[in-house]
């Protein structure tokens, strides 16, 4: 009976979880439960514990001193293409209004002269005039008819490339321009202007010359409203009469004063006398101490 009692007592103690666990002294009661539950068993007391191995941090960008704190700089903005060049002004862009006083002189004092050539360009006469001007390093103003500009835009580009200036001389050279209705007058000016700009985009057109010198307050004011000064002359060579080379030369020599504006023609008819007269006038002007200027 005593032996049976001892066996019952031992069985009861095992069922209650008392006593020791295996051969590990001082074992914790929850160690076996951790193992049974599949968790990581805690290391036994006295056993060496491996040091924690830190996970390496991902690489970080060096701080940018310009940002003032430890922060990676923002990504660089994509490189932008260069800006497009300025485009020529639109044909309907109207410059500021200018004075409508008739221009009959040059832009500087002293012995200066402004040579002006009307009615062109012409494939026959304009190149001859340009060659003579080149020979004497003379600059001139070419008063262009719109219809001619559309026919020969390459000549306009040549004129500008050689350093000369352009003037609007109406679309059709209608000498009745002073009697035209307002709409027709504006059309005569703007159509010629647009023809010039089509040939040489963006070129300045500082002046308008009325066909035949037909001026009224309305013609002057309309030209000025489009940013063109009304260009007249102080010397009419009368080359358009074709009265002879000597007569053309004598007229210019007699009427020219320092600062004068001389009217001649490079189109609108046979200009052989004009070219021949220019051959005599250019060396004479240089010998007289004249320099070549533009109207102002």
pLDDT at 162: 98
pLDDT tens-place string over residues 202-243? 999 999 999 999 999 999 999 999 999 999 999 999 999 999
CA dist 20 and 16 (Å) reads: 12
Question: By CB neighbour count within 10 A (0-12 exposed, 13-18 middle, 19+ buried), where does 32 fall?
Answer: middle
Annotation says 134 is catalytic: no
What is the average pLDDT score of the chain? 80
The arithmetic mean of pLDDT across residues 138-166, rounded, is: 98
pLDDT at 75: 54
Q: State whether residue 266 is helix, strand or coil.
A: coil
CA dist 133 and 285 (Å) reads: 12
Instruction: Tell me which of 152, 164, 169, 265 is the catalytic residue.
Output: 265
What backbone torsions phi and psi does residue 236 show, to the nearest 5 degrees? -100, 110
Check: CB of residue 170 under 8 Å from CB of residue 192.
yes
Q: What are the structure tokens assigned to 70, written together?
A: 């430890």
Instruction: Tell me which of 100, 118, 239, 293 is the catalytic residue.
Output: 118
CA dist 131 and 267 (Å) reads: 15
CA dist 157 and 161 (Å) reads: 6
The arithmetic mean of pLDDT across residues 188-208, rounded, is: 98
Q: What are the structure tokens assigned to 106, written together?
A: 């040059």
Check: CB of residue 231 under 8 Å from CB of residue 167.
yes
pLDDT tens-place string over residues 37-82? 444 444 444 444 444 444 444 454 454 444 444 445 555 544 444 4
pLDDT at 92: 47
- For residue 31, pLDDT over 60 is answered with no
Structure confidence at residue 97 as a pLDDT band (50, 70, 90): confident
- Helices and strands of the chain, counted as H and E runs: 9, 8
Structure confidence at residue 96 as a pLDDT band (50, 70, 90): confident
CA dist 263 and 115 (Å) reads: 7
Structure confidence at residue 16 as a pLDDT band (50, 70, 90): very low
What long-range pairs does 223-228 form, CB within 8 A, spacing at least 24? Answer: 223/100, 223/168, 223/189, 224/97, 224/98, 224/99, 224/100, 225/94, 225/97, 226/94, 226/95, 226/189, 226/190, 226/193, 227/94, 227/95, 227/96, 227/97, 227/98, 228/98, 228/167, 228/168, 228/189, 228/193
Annotation says 118 is catalytic: yes
Neighbours of 139 (CB within 10 A): 16
pLDDT at 170: 98
The arithmetic mean of pLDDT across residues 154-181, rounded, is: 98
DSSP run (H or E) holding 5: helix 2-15
């Amino acid at each position: 009976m005593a032996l049976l009692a001892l066996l019952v007592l031992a069985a009861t103690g095992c069922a209650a979880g008392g006593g020791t666990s295996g051969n590990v002294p001082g074992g914790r009661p929850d160690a076996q439960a951790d193992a049974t539950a599949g968790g990581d068993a805690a290391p036994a007391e006295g056993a060496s514990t491996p040091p924690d191995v830190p996970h390496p941090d991902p690489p970080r960008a060096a701080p940018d001193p310009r940002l003032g704190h430890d922060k990676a700089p923002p990504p660089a903005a994509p490189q932008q293409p260069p800006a497009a060049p300025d485009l020529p002004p639109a044909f309907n862009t109207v410059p500021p209004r200018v004075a409508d006083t008739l221009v009959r002189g040059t832009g500087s004092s002293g012995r200066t002269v402004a040579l002006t050539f009307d009615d062109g360009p012409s494939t026959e006469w304009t190149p001859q005039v340009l060659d003579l001007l080149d020979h004497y390093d003379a600059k001139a103003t070419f008063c262009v008819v719109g219809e001619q500009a559309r026919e020969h835009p390459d000549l306009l580009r040549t004129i500008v490339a050689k350093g000369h200036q352009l003037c609007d001389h109406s679309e059709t050279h209608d000498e009745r321009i002073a009697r035209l209705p307002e709409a027709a007058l504006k059309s005569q000016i703007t159509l010629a202007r647009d023809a010039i700009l089509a040939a040489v985009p963006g070129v300045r057109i500082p002046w308008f010359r009325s066909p035949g010198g037909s001026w009224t307050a309305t013609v002057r004011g309309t030209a000025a409203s489009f940013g063109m000064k009304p260009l007249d002359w102080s010397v009419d060579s009368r080359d358009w009469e074709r009265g002879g080379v000597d007569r053309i030369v004598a007229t210019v020599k007699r009427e020219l004063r320092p600062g004068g504006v001389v009217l001649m023609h490079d189109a609108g008819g046979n200009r052989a006398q004009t070219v021949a007269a220019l051959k005599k006038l250019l060396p004479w002007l240089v010998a007289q101490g004249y320099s070549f200027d533009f109207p102002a």
